[in-house]
A and B are shown apart, each in its own frame.
Chain A
Amino acid sequence: MDETELVARLRAGEPEAQRTLYDAHVDKVYRLAHRMTGDDELARDFTQDAFIRVFEKIDQFRGDASIGTWLYAVATRVILNGMRKVKRFRRREVALDDVGVMASSGRRADPDLKTKLHGAIDALPEKYRMVFVMHDIEGYTHEEIAGALGVQPGTSKAQLSRARARLRQSLAAFAPEWAV
């Protein structure tokens, strides 16, 4: 089934077409949701919500980009909006200041850099974190990120650069050679 036929059948509400789209993209959507939330239940909720919205709003798909790109655009919106709404996610975040306090207090003589990195990623602003996770962890291209987030590829590159700079700054206390 080519994309044109798939979209036509999605517009007709055919369950088989919905399942085809789901099978083709669910792994990437769920992985991204899980990376962003760190919570299996939320990742499932966001993934399900994204697909339901795509199936229900398929008439709004204009065909400017591929159906996959549109799906990721919907999914990233669902994830970012959902995370803002779900307060319990907040407790998972580690403020950048806290990372600094831990570093300066010297409570750990041999800090686990990987753990510190994860804390620093948690503390990134959500849009930077989304770009960082999509590019450096999940391997999306800047073009794919741009399509999903509705920005220019240059913006995606700039946000990734800023995200990395922040991470480097956060980790500098544990690895002085990374100091900018």
Chain B
Amino acid sequence: MTEDRFERFVRQAGQDYHRPPETPRAEMWAQIEGELAERRKARHPAVVHRLGGRMPSVRWWGLGIAAALLVGIGIGRFLPREPGAAVTIATSDPADGAAGVPATAYRVAATDHLRRVETFLTVFQLEARSGRADEGTIAPAGNLLVTTQLLLDSPASDDVRLRTLLEDVELVLTQIAQYAVGQSPQELEFIDRGMEQRGVLLKLQAAMHAGSAGIQGAL
């Protein structure tokens, strides 16, 4: 068979190779519009609606439920122990929250969460500065974000300093969660710069240091 005949054969038979269906124009455009809106919100955190806002997909609800369970388990785990222990992620005195969630339990859960965030952000920052971020590294961002939002929405979150820290963390995690692997190194640099400008890791480390004695006591 000649070269021409072979080329004709591959062109003709190739038409059935992964033959695309009709382009789902409307569905994809709706997704694009939604994603652009989400990103605009992320760039302007003041208009981010926590929990009440539209979640990108069902998968996030699963993560949210899992995160809620984790927080619940964390609070439940620490409740029977030393309710008056001086767990100090911030300097305000322990007090019961408005909805009856003990402030101590809340702070223990928050401390535990912020420790995870600190570890996550440290690893992320190392990768970001090398110009790449693996899917596996970024994956926990969504889960951590939902837990952060749950903590912010808790009636026990009356500690202004802790709340400010959680809001900083929320912003950074939102950016990371929306970072798609394979995006340009500039995108990573942008997130990293934002973290630096807000001093998020320094604040986390300071909070961990300030609260470490109390945390050890509780654990």
CA distance A175 to B6 in the complex (A): 10
Which chain B residues (1-48) contact chain A, with CB distance < 8 Å?
A: 1, 6-7, 9-11, 13-18, 20-21, 23-25, 27-29, 31-33, 35-36, 39
Partner of A31, one of B14, B20, B27, B183: B20
Is B135 an interface residue when CB atoms closer than 8 A count as contact? yes
Q: Which residues of B contact A167 (CB under 8 A)?
A: 10
Is B123 an interface residue when CB atoms closer than 8 A count as contact? no
Beta-carbon nearest neighbor of B13 in chain A: A114
CA distance A30 to B17 in the complex (A): 14
Is A22 an interface residue when CB atoms closer than 8 A count as contact? yes
CB atoms of B16 and A118 under 8 A apart: yes
CB atoms of B11 and A136 under 8 A apart: yes
CA distance A117 to B14 in the complex (A): 8
User: In the complex where A51-B32, A164-B6 touch, is A35 in contact with B181 (Cβ < 8 A)?
Assistant: no
Q: How far is the CB of B210 from chain A (nearest CB, A)?
A: 39
Is B206 an interface residue when CB atoms closer than 8 A count as contact? no
Q: How far is the CB of A164 from chain B (nearest CB, A)?
A: 7
Q: How far is the CB of A19 from chain B (nearest CB, A)?
A: 7
Q: How far is the CB of B30 from chain A (nearest CB, A)?
A: 10
Which chain A residues (121-151) contact chain B, with CB distance < 8 Å?
A: 121, 132-133, 136-137
Q: Which residues of A contact B181 (CB under 8 A)?
A: 81, 85
User: In the complex where A37-B18, A118-B17, A164-B6 touch, is A26 in contact with B23 (Cβ < 8 A)?
Assistant: yes
Beta-carbon nearest neighbor of B34 in chain A: A48
Interface of A is mostly: helix
Interface of B is mostly: helix
On chain B, which size bracket covers the interface? Answer: 20 to 34
User: In the complex where A48-B32, A117-B13 touch, is A30 in contact with B23 (Cβ < 8 A)?
Assistant: yes
Is B52 an interface residue when CB atoms closer than 8 A count as contact? no
Q: Which residues of B contact A57 (CB under 8 A)?
A: 184
Partner of A53, one of B10, B21, B183: B183
Q: Which residues of A contact B16 (CB under 8 A)?
A: 114, 118
Is A16 an interface residue when CB atoms closer than 8 A count as contact? no
- Can you name 13 extra interface pairs (CB under 8 A) apart from A36-B18, A38-B18, A85-B182? A26-B25, A27-B23, A30-B28, A34-B20, A44-B24, A44-B31, A48-B32, A52-B32, A52-B35, A117-B10, A137-B14, A137-B15, A137-B17
A-B contact pairs, 21 of them (CB 8 A): A31-B20, A34-B20, A35-B20, A44-B24, A44-B31, A47-B28, A48-B31, A48-B35, A52-B32, A52-B35, A52-B36, A55-B36, A57-B184, A81-B182, A85-B135, A85-B182, A117-B17, A118-B17, A164-B7, A177-B1, A178-B1
Contact surface of B with A, Cβ cutoff 8 Å: 1, 6-7, 9-11, 13-18, 20-21, 23-25, 27-29, 31-33, 35-36, 39, 135, 180-184
Closest A-B pairs by Cβ, 10 of them: A34-B20, A81-B182, A38-B18, A177-B1, A114-B13, A137-B14, A30-B23, A31-B20, A35-B18, A27-B23
